[in-house]
């Protein structure tokens, strides 16, 4: 197989006669092929200035057993998504906050608050709670927080 190589600044770009393109650098390598699509190894990130379409075989996200946190990622970026395989939760991080939020698949209500804002006591199994509207998002959507019923 013949190769046409372009080498600049320690990076190599190979164009093979069989249609495969290989890019290699000190950080890793990337291969483009009609058979396998794009394969990336060792590179920190892949940026796209258009939408990324994973409809052919899906998009795979970061997963771990337990809650997702900043410590799970090398770069703290808004828009991160992670799957907690132990608690069946999808975690996400938005631009509006540095906090992680999650949605649980159990169809019950799970919430990150551990204490009642009125009495500062921890919630325990069996507590009767009420949801109080305590704020509004910039789009007008109400935000609620859990309180012990005895505290309202």
Q: pLDDT per position in the chain (152 positions), as tens?
A: 556 565 666 777 777 777 777 777 777 766 777 776 666 666 556 666 666 677 777 788 899 999 999 889 887 778 889 999 999 999 998 865 578 888 888 767 778 889 999 999 999 999 999 999 999 989 999 999 999 999 99
Place of tokens 């109080």: 132
Q: How far apart are CA 90 and CA 61, in angstroms?
A: 10
Q: Residues 139, 68, 26, 46: is their CA dihedral positive or negative?
A: negative
- Region of 150 please: left (phi>0), alpha (psi -120 to 50) or beta: alpha
CB neighbours of 117 closer than 8 A, spacing ≥ 6?
A: 134, 145, 147
Q: What ranges do the domains of the chain cover?
A: 3-41, 75-106, 111-152
Closest CA to 130 of 88, 113, 139: 113
């Amino acid at each position: 197989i013949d190769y046409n190589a372009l080498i600049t600044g320690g990076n190599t770009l190979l164009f093979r006669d069989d249609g495969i393109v290989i890019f290699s650098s000190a950080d890793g390598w990337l291969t483009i092929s009609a058979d396998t699509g794009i394969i990336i190894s060792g590179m920190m990130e892949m940026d796209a200035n258009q939408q990324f379409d994973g409809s052919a075989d899906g998009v795979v996200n970061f997963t771990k057993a337990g809650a997702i946190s900043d410590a799970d990622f090398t770069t703290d970026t808004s828009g991160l998504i992670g799957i907690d395989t132990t608690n069946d939760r999808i975690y996400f991080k938005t631009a509006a906050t540095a906090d992680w939020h999650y949605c649980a698949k159990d169809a019950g209500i799970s919430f990150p608050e551990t204490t009642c804002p009125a009495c500062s006591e921890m919630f325990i199994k069996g507590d009767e709670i009420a949801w109080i509207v305590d704020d509004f998002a910039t789009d007008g959507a109400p935000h609620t927080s859990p309180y012990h019923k005895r505290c309202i």
